[in-house]
Structure 1
Amino acid sequence: MKRILALCLFIAGVSGNTGYAQGQSFSLAEAQDYALVHNYSLLESKEEVEKAQARVNEVIASGLPQVNGSAGYQNFIKQPVQLIPAEFFGGEPGTFQPVIFGTKQNMNLDVTANQLLFDGSYIIGLKAAREVVELSKLQRKLSTQEIRKKVYDAYAMAVAAEENLKTLEASAKNLEELANQTEALKSEGLTDDITVSQLQINLSNLQYAVDNAKTQITMAKNLLKFTLGFPIDREVVLTTGIDAFTEVGIDQFATDQYSALRTTEAKLARQNLLLKEYRYKADRASYLPTLSAYFSHQQNAFGQEFSVFTNSDNYFTTNLVGINLSVPIFSSLRKKNEIKQSKIEVTLAKINDQKVSEAMRLEISNAQATLKNQINNYKTQQANLDLSTKIREQTLIKFKEGLASSFDLNQSENQFLEAQAKYVNAVINLSQAKSNLDKLLNN
């Protein structure tokens, strides 16, 4: 919470130095939709999905024909000399005749095509690569759910802060009018300094609460803008009222025994298990032989002059077709230990799958209990606020009629401010409990 507060204060300072820019109105739904396009984390997750798809294409391409070309040119400034027994040329036995083989100018062109015919690891790896894309999509879905929740929570905080400011400003205006009236009565000798001073203290406390509420609005909106991916120096106008966050019923979050298994977190755990199983199968398939075919086309040119580039008669062609079979025989138990490790990874993934499923059941159960508790707490704080408002108004009337003291007025004012603060917190806690359960069940 301290990090978020510090971030909001920093953003508030930045926005204070950039000047006012044109604002934009957002309903809650519009804000969530905007964040799905502009939020920084979602932009990153989108790139991760595309990266995973590129990885699949890379794996597919590795099993398709691979064609490579090469060219080489040699210019022997000084040709190498070989010694041949002189008797081959009718010379004296035991002596050698220096000879030069080859030409000074050599040119070779080579085009080779390779095609994988069979590789067990490739077949399994191809299936696994496709599942990596699904994993990336699930991770993006989870990020989307988290961003929608963050937008909901930040929006609710901002709306609650604005409603709080309206109430406090209205109260401060009424109290200021009363303080002015009391000051006038004092000048006529109809009241004392203590009563006037007490009202000034109450008014000062209320004005501080108003200023603090304005700061809370700035912080909440800056956090909302950052979550949206919206420019900090632009103003946002919130069009969704507070009722959208308080009209919550536990019945709208019905669950069954399979709800935990449908959560994105549980799906991610199962997807991770699937990938570990593919890895285990791929390691086992490494014991199988690998078969590939190749075709090579070569053209070699020889000459004493540079005409090898222009005289096609100097070129000689060679074509070659072949098959390569690679059979693993002995790896000093390296492969055996690799397979053992991947098998253990499968076992760990199964344990994690079970753990996540149970954790999701626990989270859903706790989230339901928390939401139910926060609904009750909101109703209680709303009732307390209504009562404290009535007490405050009645005490204010009695004070004007001389039937209540400034101490009574101060007490009712403090009671009202405390009830108002608790009500705002109840609204925020209720909205957060609702969004948390909604994220878990939004599959």
Structure 2
Amino acid sequence: MPFTRGKKPALPAGSKIPKLNATTSENQDEGPQVKRSSSPPHGAPKKRTAFIDITNAHKVQISLPGRKKEAGKKQVKKTSAPSVSAKNNANLTKSLSVSSDGTPDEKEKTDSEEGNEEAVQKDVAAPVEGLVAAVPPAAREVPAHLQKQPIPEEFDIDSENSEDCYMCPEYAKEIFDYLKQREEKFVLCNYMPQQPSLNPEMRAILIDWLVEVQENFELYHETLYLAVKMADHYLSKTPVHRELLQLVGSTAMLIASKFEERSPPCVDDFLYICDDAYKREEIISMEASILQALSFDINIPIPYRFLRRYAKCVNAGMDTLTLARYYCEMSLMEMELVSERGSLLASACLLMALVTKDLGGWRPILQFHSGYQTSDLAPVVRKLYEMLLAPPDDKLRAVRSKYSHKVFFEVASLPLVNVDILDNALSQ
């Protein structure tokens, strides 16, 4: 409660109020700062007095041109012994102050000063020369595996972005080569036989629902792909009852949102889209379970990133890239394609889109950046073609309705390419 004006607050017995000296002030421009006379109790942390100049502004001395120093004021010199670096700086200043034409301010060095300089230089140079001499000539060269491999000029797709630091043109090729190597750590197999209460249809329904979640929350496509990957890896290691399958999917989307999004949805949002089927404690517990099952390594290479990279190699238009994205997103619901690596799946989707748009087959520049030949892509392309040729399922409408919109160039309504044309492209 605020104190009543005109009355002194009641204090308990034995308490004291610190007195302020009226003749001094804590905000004086000159002179030392006023310190509290009361000492803190033994073991208590040292307190900082409020309303004092906590900067070093009172210690800064600014010399303006044209002003002379006032008489009677002397600068305070440090009494500490000069270090070796300070001596070197002083000797360097003396040597630079000597002019070539012999000015009156020229000073001659004594023999003792020259001897000190030579001694200091020897003391500094000796360890460096010893280290250089100790390293053999072969070790000074950069190892072969660390040297940057030259990219042929006809395959260079990053030099045009040399002024854009966000595109990382200097090591973009190395980044995707590293992601391609990391794929070997996240290879999956058909884990459905290890799930007694699940089947591929349930998994497809879950992913179809995750596509709707990605659209409603306006999340990145990378978030969707990463969520599907994490859910698959968790299901490959942990048996899950069918009643908890939606909890696994929504929690995987929550983790992926934290990893990819700038403003990820909160836990309450995911509880809402699950129609309050789960409690807050359950989704937090599932989050910890998924992270522990994946050993907290959730930077899983996804096909979406490879797809954008490979489409840039051939300067594919947005309509061609969107068609390949449609094929790639449809493949997320196929259990047979779970074991395929992301880079291989992205290459197969792009090849199908190029053939459908009559833009040619798998070019040498694509083979250079992806590392795959047409023969490597042929089995995956045929699986994709069979998947798209099958009649649509009424329960799985999210992806088709999403890519039937004008924003996505209505690529879902495009007819499939003739199988003979596709086989001809795969035989080249």
Q: TM-score range by the shorter chain?
A: under 0.3
**Which structure's CA Rg is the greater one?**
1
Higher RCO, 1 or 2 (CA under 8 Å, sep at least 6)?
A: 1
Point out the structure with the larger strand share: 1
TM-score by length of 1: 0.16
Point out the structure with the larger helix share: 1
